[in-house]
Structure 1
Amino acid sequence: MNTAQPGHPAPPPATSPGGTTATIDGRSARWETHREQRRRELIKATRRAIHHLGADASMEDIAANAGTSKSVFYRYFGDKAGLQQAVGKVVIGQMQDTILAAGKTARTPREGLVNMVTAYLQMAETSPNVYTFVTAPGDASPQPTGELSGFFDAVTAMISDPLRDLLGGTESPLLGYWPTAAIGLVRTTGELWLKTPPSPAKPDHLAMAEQISTWLFDGVRRQVTAAASPNLSLQVEGIS
């Protein structure tokens, strides 16, 4: 089809390195750019909606809050699970980058752990509804989203490197166990902390990060021994 305008001859077709003619469809390229931009806008709108409405907001509620129809969301994301995955990819990616950057500023392995746990809790606390939305199991699967699984795998790798020497070097079997156990403690404790209603007794994210790190590095015995009477200290020693 000749798409040239009067007085403006059509440009010659592009030629690939192999000598074959490749048709460049400018309209398709513009449409893909527009579609990707629209997806980003809808993801941002979803984050705002979930932040205000809660993690259980329906597609209809999310669309209404975004000022559009739910058919638009279905067109771009397929279903709610697809929307959850798309939002999760953005949110979890940002968390991973922030946690990695926080770990790099540390001077010691313990400080690195404190920094990373602090960053994790702080970002989750910024919008608990959004965190819950992207980490909740999908309708078709009882497991967390793939993005979340990859996120914790990446964080496990982050904390393995600085702790390699402390855990006995690269040949130590403990190198594979401790970081995995640490991630389990951080995640379960952090999510319980997020769900705990505000009160004077609830620690802030900095205090919670320090406490989690103390449990991981020092265990319970040292913390109890330091705060207890000599008699209690002896009892703790006796059961260790």
Structure 2
Amino acid sequence: MTTSVDGRTTRWARHNATRRRELVEATLRAIRRHGHAVGMDDIAAEAGTSKTVFYRHFGDRSGLYEAVVESVHAFIWGSLSDALATDRPPQELVTGLADAYLRVVEVDGEIYRFVTNRPGGSPDPVLGITNRIGDQVSAALARWLVAHDLDPSPANTWGHGVVGFTWAVADRWILTDLRRPRADIVAFIGDLFTPAFDAQPATARPMEPTKES
């Protein structure tokens, strides 16, 4: 009997997870079709169901918003994974990160606007993803600095600073309706940070004393 109940519970949980995913995908389609200020009626129509079904699965619009943010976070993280996968020099890491993120903004601007215009009381969606990516960029910078016998102390400040700067630039870029080409914005970001990275060899780690000394 226990096994049967557990089996039904597992199947029901899988069904709910699948249905939530379908509803989130329908919400994303509705946002792309109607813009970031889309209403629940249009979202429900896109899903071919009623608002009641959405509220049953997500509680309210804030719950749906948080589920959309989670989905967008996963997409952004996947888009940035290549930029963070290899131990690139800092200049290449920064421009690769900027280009990957700005490409997301360029391709899905209405989704980006939806995510960054959170309902009252919802957690800040940008903070979670920027902290996670900032940690990864910091770790990548630290590995590169250590590999080149340089002081890794700036890595954490640089990593989170670069990520925060890129996010701020993306917010401003979308407010200008992407007036400048993405390649220009990426180049500007690289031009700002490259001098700092080029100066880093002057702060090389002191050599460890040898046994003979």
Shared topology, TM-score over 0.5? Answer: yes
For 1:209, the equivalent position in structure 2 comes to 186
| One-letter code aligned to 1:157 | D
Name 1:184's counterpart in structure 2: 164
> Which residue of the partner structure matches residue 42 of structure 1?
23
**Aligned residues of 1:138 and 1:144 also touching (Cα < 8 A):** no
**How far 1:105 moved relative to its partner?**
4.8
Q: Which residue of 1 aligns with 2:13?
A: 32
Distance 1:183 1:136 in 2: 20
Quote the residue 2:208 is aligned against: none
- How far apart, in 2, do the equivalents of 1:180 and 1:197 lie? 26
- The yes-or-no answer on 1:83 pairing with 2:61 is no
Provide runs of 4+ in structure 1 moved above 4 Å. Answer: none
Deviations 1:87-138 (A, max 9, x none): 1111111211221222325642211111111110101211111112123233
Q: Is 1:156 paired with 2:134?
A: yes
For the 8 Å contact 1:106–1:115, the answer to whether it is kept is no
String of CA shifts for 1:63-83, please: whole Å, max 9, x gaps.
Answer: 123221111110111111111
Partners of 2:71 and 2:112 in 1: CA distance: 11
Structure 2: distance between partners of 1:107 and 1:182: 15
**Displacement after TM superposition at 1:189 (Å):** 0.9
Q: Deviations over 1:175-204 (max 9, x none)?
A: 333323222221111111122135xxx332
Aligned to 1:169: 151
User: Counterpart of 1:207 in structure 2: which amino acid?
Assistant: D
1:18-76 CA-partner distances (Å, limit 9, x unpaired): xxxx4332333322222111111101000000111111112222112322111111011
CA contact (8 A) 1:136 1:144 kept: no
Alignment counterpart, residue 123 of structure 1, candidates 101, 104, 110: 104
Which one of 103, 109, 122 corresponds to residue 84 of structure 2? 103
Once the two structures are TM-superposed, the CA of residue 216 in structure 1 deviates from its matched residue by 2.3
Cα-Cα RMSD? 2.3
**Which of 1 and 2 has higher RCO (CA within 8 Å, sep 6+)?**
2
Matched, 1:67 2:44: no
Larger Rg: 1
Q: Distance in 2 between matches of 1:106 and 1:51?
A: 35
Distance 1:117 1:106 in 2: 16
SS at match of 1:68: coil
Aligned partners of 1:73 and 1:177: how far apart in 2? 42
The sequence identity of aligned pairs, in percent, is 33
In proportion to residue count, which structure has more helix? 2
Aligned to 1:18: none
* Structure 1 unmatched runs, 5+: 1-12, 14-21, 220-240
Residues 214-229 of structure 1 mapped to structure 2, 5 A cutoff: 214-218=191-195
